[in-house]
Amino acid sequence: MQAFKTIGIAGTPHERGVMHGRILRDEIADVLVFYRDIFKRPEAEVLELAAAFQRTITEFNIDYIDEIQGIAEGSGQDPLWIVALNARTEILAQNKNNFVNECTSLCFPGPSILGQTWDWGKPLEALCVVMHIRRSDGHEICMLTEPGIIGKIGMNNAGLGVCLNILTLGCKLDGVPIHIMLRAILDCQSTREAIDVINKAPFGKSSNILVADRSGQCFDKEFAGGEMLTPEAINGSFVHTNHYLGKEINAASDPLFFNSRSRMKVALERASETTDYSLDTMINILSDRSDDKYPIYRSYLPDDVLQDVGTVATILMDLSAQQFHIRKGNQPDSPFTTFTVK
């Protein structure tokens, strides 16, 4: 199996966006087809939501809108559709029936190892890219992202990394989109700075982020609309799937979360049993298929929202070694590709 396509962008926010859009012009068009289908909303309605998010993003950090405008210019797309891609989680959440059980995230704080599976629609496996972003001040980001989206799962050359788990509240979300927040975190130099950035716009989202740095600092934040919760490490590790841990929001009896709770149970048990907090141990946990019905490392199976859902990628970040490891797809014999981020 081929590795993910890799691209590099640099310059001002607008210049980076134009490069992103030009290089990934075809992929962005295909990603828009994918999301137009699963949004299941009239175009005018999607663009109205996007216009509201554009204002929110502008107030948060105008550089991100400049980059989004550049992507639109480079790809030949309507800027509001590029905004819609960056707010795709929040637009999907407008319909509570759009929830998809997705990712499993882990952090071993001691050796500063952070990782997750990213589970999503099968078409994204062929479209996603590993993107290297270099700012004019030398700050560099390496991340897996969907074409057209400016922030996702990744790390930077300051030794800071972030993972994502989507959570559901079944309500309207109108805050800074979670993928914009991921980019803002990746633009930080430390966990302390990341917390400050999060505190600038903590509400109106429904997701979990797991952030760590090469010094061994790690924190978990759950966004729950008007609340922000802080789950603690369990037996020395952080583990998260797709239900709230900081507060009983998603009922244990709700079948919608059986998948998430099963993956959480297996990952937590395996992480709690180990004394070897190594990259190999995390790979083994994130490759676990011991639960036939709800495996952590998932083959593509039919889904009401995305047609086929499974593990699109497995990402591990050795933050102390400044290395980003990524495996494409959900075949156990697929190799990892390693990037050094310095």
- Strands annotated E in the chain: 5-10, 104-108, 113-121, 129-134, 140-145, 153-156, 160-166, 205-213, 218-225, 227-229, 238-240, 301-303, 307-318, 323-328, 336-340
* Residue pLDDT, tens place only, 77-90: 999 999 999 999 99
* Residue pLDDT, tens place only, 118-166: 999 999 999 999 999 999 999 999 999 999 999 999 999 999 999 999 9
Q: SS3 of 324, please? A: strand
pTM of the model: 0.97
Same domain, 110 and 190: yes
Same domain, 305 and 211: yes
* Residue pLDDT, tens place only, 236-284: 999 999 999 999 999 999 999 999 999 999 999 999 999 999 999 999 9
Same domain, 114 and 60: no
More confident residue, 30 or 93: 30
d(CA 264, CA 13) in angstroms, rounded, equals 38
- Is the pLDDT reported for residue 215 higher than 90? yes
Same domain, 55 and 142: no
Q: What is the mean pLDDT of the chain?
A: 96
What is residue 96's predicted lDDT score, i.e. its pLDDT? 67
Same domain, 69 and 132: no
* Residue pLDDT, tens place only, 248-258: 999 999 999 99
Neighbours of 168 (CB within 10 A): 23
* CATH at 12: 1.10.10
* Total domains in the fold of the chain: 2
Please report which confidence band the pLDDT of residue 94 belongs to, taking 50, 70 and 90 as the band edges. confident
Same domain, 45 and 194: no
What is residue 174's predicted lDDT score, i.e. its pLDDT? 94
Same domain, 74 and 43: yes
Structural domain range at position 13: 5-92
Please report which confidence band the pLDDT of residue 97 belongs to, taking 50, 70 and 90 as the band edges. low
Same domain, 20 and 169: no
Q: Last residue of some domain: 61, 92, 123?
A: 92
d(CA 98, CA 149) in angstroms, rounded, equals 20
